[in-house]
């Protein structure tokens, strides 16, 4: 049954019944002619339910892009394997875009040498692949990462989880995301993050942005986007012109697109995700604003395989 919210001060339904602004009405409260007229004149607005039924799994695509750093990418893949094993509420696909036919992807990937090749593979497959590697140029970077979300659309997922190839989320964090996805929340993210450096063997906690203009902005990793929100963006969360500022690119789109949102501090909820740094990172591992070194044991409890 279709439901609507009254936008105008009042409308008159069946049998002269009056409904006032912000009141919820159903299609049974109006005759079809009146309902269509109210919709056309924007006197009512349809309330759409984007929740996911409890009797089916949440279809999730974990998407990332990679260039080198094979040893770190293997840890990332181990992290995804943990999600598959310990998050039974999800049907998880892993989609990776890479910039050369690298030999560091794990076994089990379906390899596509372009997005078109990916389309051909899906057309001729009886079952949807669970792990996909797409070969694509490194520049523009936005096009490279958008290739993963384009592929996710072909798989018919409910949500996309945007990750760096050096980021790992714990099963507990994803299971919490699942409760929000079931409700149909469009954008889910975290305002803080944990880090581990494989060179110095040190761990760090970052408490989030403190600048006023970025207050409550989420970390770039572990952003979950609903299919409804991605439809608004034609499944392109990043603009090519913003290849050097991908986080800002998505943030700009969020600013102008109506959506439901849930962001939170992992530390406050006792949940974890980690970014793995190494000697090949572009920036050295060091404290930055609103961060502190922490005991490795805190992360080792949740991510034993990275130590």
**Confidence at residue 273, expressed as pLDDT on a 0 to 100 scale:** 98
* Mean of per-residue pLDDT scores for the chain: 87
Strand pairing class (90-98; 167-169): unpaired
Residues 279 and 147 sit within 8 Å (Cβ to Cβ): no
**Confidence at residue 186, expressed as pLDDT on a 0 to 100 scale:** 94
Using the predicted structure, report yes or no on whether residue 104 has a pLDDT greater than 60. Answer: no
Indicate the fold that domain 58-306 takes in CATH.
Spore Coat Polysaccharide Biosynthesis Protein SpsA; Chain A (3.90.550)
Percentage of the chain beyond pLDDT 90 is 55
pTM (2 d.p.)? 0.80
**Confidence at residue 282, expressed as pLDDT on a 0 to 100 scale:** 45
Using the predicted structure, report yes or no on whether residue 105 has a pLDDT greater than 70. Answer: no
Domain spans of the chain, in order of start: 3-47, 58-306
Residue 134 binned pLDDT confidence (cut-offs 50, 70, 90): confident
Using the predicted structure, report yes or no on whether residue 283 has a pLDDT greater than 90. Answer: no
For 23-59, how does the pLDDT look when each residue is reduced to its tens digit (9 = 90+)?
989 889 999 999 999 999 999 988 777 788 888 999 9
Distances (CA, A) of 40 to 16, 28, 33, 45, 177: 20, 18, 11, 10, 36
Quickly count: other Cβ atoms within 10 Å of residue 280's Cβ.
13
Residue 301 binned pLDDT confidence (cut-offs 50, 70, 90): very high
**Confidence at residue 119, expressed as pLDDT on a 0 to 100 scale:** 75
For 178-188, how does the pLDDT look when each residue is reduced to its tens digit (9 = 90+)?
999 999 999 99
DSSP class per residue in the chain: --EEEE-SSEEE-GGG-EEETT-EEEGGGS-HHHHHHHHHTTSEEEE---PPPTTS-EEEEEEEEE-S-HHHHHHHHHHHHHHHHH-TTEEEEEEEEESS--S-SPTTPEEESSHHHHHHHHHT-SS--SEEEEE--SSSHHHHHHHHHHHHHHHT-SEEEE--TTEEE-HHHHHHHHHHHHTT-SEEEES-EEEEETTTTEEEEE----SGGGTTPPPSTTEEEEHHHHHHTTT--S-GGGTT-HHHHHHHHHHHS---EEEE-HHHHT--EEEEE-TTSSS-----TTEEEE-HHHHHTT-GGG-
Using the predicted structure, report yes or no on whether residue 242 has a pLDDT greater than 70. Answer: no
Residues 63 and 163 sit within 8 Å (Cβ to Cβ): yes
């Amino acid at each position: 049954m279709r439901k609507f919210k009254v936008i105008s001060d009042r409308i008159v339904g069946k049998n002269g019944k009056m409904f006032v602004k912000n009141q919820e009405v159903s299609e049974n409260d109006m005759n079809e002619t009146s309902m269509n007229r109210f919709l056309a004149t924007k006197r009512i607005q349809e309330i759409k339910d984007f929740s996911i039924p409890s009797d089916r799994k949440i279809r999730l695509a974990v998407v990332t892009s990679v260039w080198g750093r094979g040893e770190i990418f293997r840890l990332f893949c181990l992290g995804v394997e943990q999600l598959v094993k310990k998050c039974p509420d999800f049907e998880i696909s892993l989609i990776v875009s890479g910039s050369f036919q690298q030999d560091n992807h794990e076994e089990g990937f379906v390899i596509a040498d372009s997005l078109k090749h990916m389309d051909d593979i899906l057309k001729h497959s009886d079952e949807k692949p669970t792990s996909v590697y797409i070969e694509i140029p490194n520049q523009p970077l936005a096009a490279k990462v958008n290739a993963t979300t384009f592929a996710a659309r072909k798989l018919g997922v409910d949500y996309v989880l945007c990750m760096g190839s050096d980021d790992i989320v714990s099963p507990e964090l994803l299971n919490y995301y699942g409760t929000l996805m079931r409700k149909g929340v469009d954008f889910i993210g975290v305002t803080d993050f944990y880090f581990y450096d494989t060179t110095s063997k040190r761990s760090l906690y970052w408490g989030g942005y403190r600048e006023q203009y970025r207050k409550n902005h989420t970390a770039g990793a572990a952003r979950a986007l609903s299919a409804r929100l991605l439809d608004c963006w034609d499944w392109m969360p990043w603009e090519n012109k913003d290849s050097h500022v991908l986080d800002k690119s998505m943030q700009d789109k969020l600013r102008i697109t109506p959506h439901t949102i849930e962001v939170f501090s992992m530390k406050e909820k006792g949940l974890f995700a980690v970014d793995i740094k190494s000697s090949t990172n572009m920036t050295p591992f060091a404290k930055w604003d609103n961060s502190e070194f922490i005991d490795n044991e805190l992360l080792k409890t949740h991510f034993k395989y990275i130590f």
